[in-house]
Structure 1
């Protein structure tokens, strides 16, 4: 049987020691079968277990193998499209409910870390860095918008102030969100998986779902076993493949790239990010970076539509890093990797139900660390019969990419090229 290891990333190399979990080799029965042991699946499993459900999780590779264990590690609030866009799309009533949830994911992460003593280098503070006066104006509007929904841990920063927290001369200002922050993402997933098991949940690794037999008591088939359940939660996101064709039609896997330097040492690291906040710029095709627990710079950016793996990741990302921090020109890159996220045309998550008993959440569109933790709670609420918040997401309109699966990649790349020009020429 195939054994899929973690990619060669900094996160995998520095992960907390956890023994591999067995593959499913039998027929089992459960209340809820969760497909995917990333943040969405693990969050769902935890909330369900805490409410008395029997839960079995199937993972095609290892816990946190996909985006949950490869991302930039930044706790960023709201959604990939902000609440004002949602309000214009669906009206004030639905937007009000979604807005109230927009800052919940970060709170869930911190609660999980505290309750289950998860060692994942959690640090508070995230910076949105403006490269133009237009972007700064957007941040001023965003602060007012978020404060409308009760989110008040925000500080606008002028050029002098942002230089105190980021040693980079590209920025004209920014916004600090102290409820943002950063974590070692794979260690967060591993800690959540251990919490699932501490509550009696079962996780099978190297157990891809190859077929779902739908019906009153649906059955998920793996290469060597099957799980009969009352409910199924589909949480595969960009790594789901074509298991559920209805979900593949309205989404597209995309790749993003990350590099990690050699350890910089306490002194140099402190000159770059004196308060150890994470940073993302305000471009459409944005760059993001932060320090690791052992004082490396983790720097990511770029999008590859269709999720192809670039031949030379360092060649793509290192110039971006040096534009921000030219003082690192002689620093060695120890790790470079890529990972996939799932993009929707609206850049809003897709949540719903197939039939009476198959639930799903997918399509975080690059904004998933906080949203996935919220999604787990919302899905668990729906299975318990409390569907108001689930319905607020499920009622968001979604459309297939123009040209279908054949042409969705070139169309999306063309759109990104256009927005890249807007970033460059400030229009």
Structure 2
């Protein structure tokens, strides 16, 4: 039986019994491939609408990025709203901008509706190292105000003091509609909620093939599901299942660690208990956990090769931010893969009238997956207007194909790493 990666989240998650693998032939209105945030969000949305749903998961619910991420509710997308407007046009920019806060709202609504205990707390903050980054935050507020969002608070260096005890930053921006949580408990809680509404979830059920005809069939080693619709939400773990879409994303890993419980010392470092991420291209992110550890993450490995030196990647930056942690014991360190697109914007589409997909949230998945899961449910229910906004956008494969996409992307990333180091 598959197990979760040995992370802080797996060690502290609410107990949830393993679900059986698929065996034999099953039927459902909708078969969903992947039990991460996107798949489970769509499953819950569809179950609430009265559809019969089967979810097939290769490992365990929340096994991938959904159960290993930084746990931050960061609103919007991996590209800012003015970039989206410039790239896709005024109409698309307005429509996409109108949805930008909905992922976080869905999380809060579901946590309350289904009593999901996931350590949910409000507020996240972006921190700036340079005057240029600070101007970027001011521009961010201006653009979001134009889309009707105003619950932001710009801070100078002195204004940071009640929130984060470090000398690294010159200012920051609080999004009061952001927040942080225990992501594995969230996705498992949503899965349990979907099951109370009749959805069925099969774990250890790796999909081996998907037919895309009028009556699609999804096969595993020991069974098959006949459905009216299929939704593919495998993200960074799609492998070679569907090369026509898998070739347009690239797995990328990020590294995370947590200290031992620090008690009052953790509250001294992050007094207001906001989640924090900096403004570098290769950003760091950190927050307090419910048991007063410091969770600190960052680093990027293109191609999602698990790093053998997670602590060596993370600890130096953590100690630059919080020198007082030099003697703190590190209890957990892990990596997790997410799916990156060339445009750094999520991809949605149809492989046929009966087979839908969504992936590539590009490091912004906690909120975006919840929005897109709802949109997938709407589309299956016949309300495809929001789905079609995303599906109409152009998507491109990475240069060099699967063979060269990693080295070419690494070459490009060196430019941005140099900019981060030089503060430009």
TM bucket by the smaller chain? over 0.9
Give me the whole-angstrom Cα distance separating, in 2, the residues matched to 1:25 and 1:320: 48
Give me the whole-angstrom Cα distance separating, in 1, the residues matched to 2:102 and 2:145: 14
Among residues 182, 185, 192, which one is paired with 2:190 in the alignment? 192
Among residues 154, 157, 160, which one is paired with 1:156 in the alignment? 154
> What's the secondary structure of 2:60's corresponding residue?
coil
Count of residues in Structure 1 that have an aligned counterpart in Structure 2: 424
1:368-387, Cα deviation, whole Å (9 max, x unpaired): 00000000111111112211
The answer to whether residue 346 in structure 2 is matched with residue 349 in structure 1 is yes
CA-based RMSD = 0.7
Among residues 30, 40, 55, which one is paired with 1:42 in the alignment? 40
Partner of 1:218: 216
Asked whether the equivalents of residues 212 and 351 of structure 2 are also in contact (C-alpha less than 8 Å), the reply is no
Give me the whole-angstrom Cα distance separating, in 2, the residues matched to 1:5 and 1:62: 7
Give me the whole-angstrom Cα distance separating, in 2, the residues matched to 1:259 and 1:153: 30
The unaligned stretches of length 5 or more in structure 1 are none
Give me the whole-angstrom Cα distance separating, in 2, the residues matched to 1:262 and 1:288: 18
Give me the whole-angstrom Cα distance separating, in 2, the residues matched to 1:312 and 1:128: 27
Give me the whole-angstrom Cα distance separating, in 2, the residues matched to 1:394 and 1:217: 22
Partner of 1:19: 17
Asked whether the equivalents of residues 124 and 179 of structure 2 are also in contact (C-alpha less than 8 Å), the reply is yes
1:140-193, Cα deviation, whole Å (9 max, x unpaired): 000011111121110000110012200011110000011100000000011001
Give me the whole-angstrom Cα distance separating, in 2, the residues matched to 1:403 and 1:28: 40
Asked whether the equivalents of residues 341 and 366 of structure 1 are also in contact (C-alpha less than 8 Å), the reply is yes
Give me the whole-angstrom Cα distance separating, in 2, the residues matched to 1:165 and 1:107: 23
Partner of 1:233: 231
Aligned counterparts, 1:274-293, within 5 A: 274-293=271-290
1:214 Cα deviation from its structure 2 partner: 2.5
Partner of 1:140: 138
Give me the whole-angstrom Cα distance separating, in 2, the residues matched to 1:292 and 1:26: 42
TM-score, normalised via structure 1 length: 0.98
The answer to whether residue 361 in structure 2 is matched with residue 364 in structure 1 is yes
Aligned counterparts, 1:168-317, within 5 A: 168-265=166-263, 267-317=264-314
Give me the whole-angstrom Cα distance separating, in 2, the residues matched to 1:42 and 1:183: 17
Partner of 2:421: 424
> What's the secondary structure of 1:192's corresponding residue?
helix
The unaligned stretches of length 5 or more in structure 2 are none
1:360 Cα deviation from its structure 2 partner: 0.6
Query: Post-superposition, which runs of at least 4 consecutive aligned residues in structure 1 deviate over 6 A?
Result: none
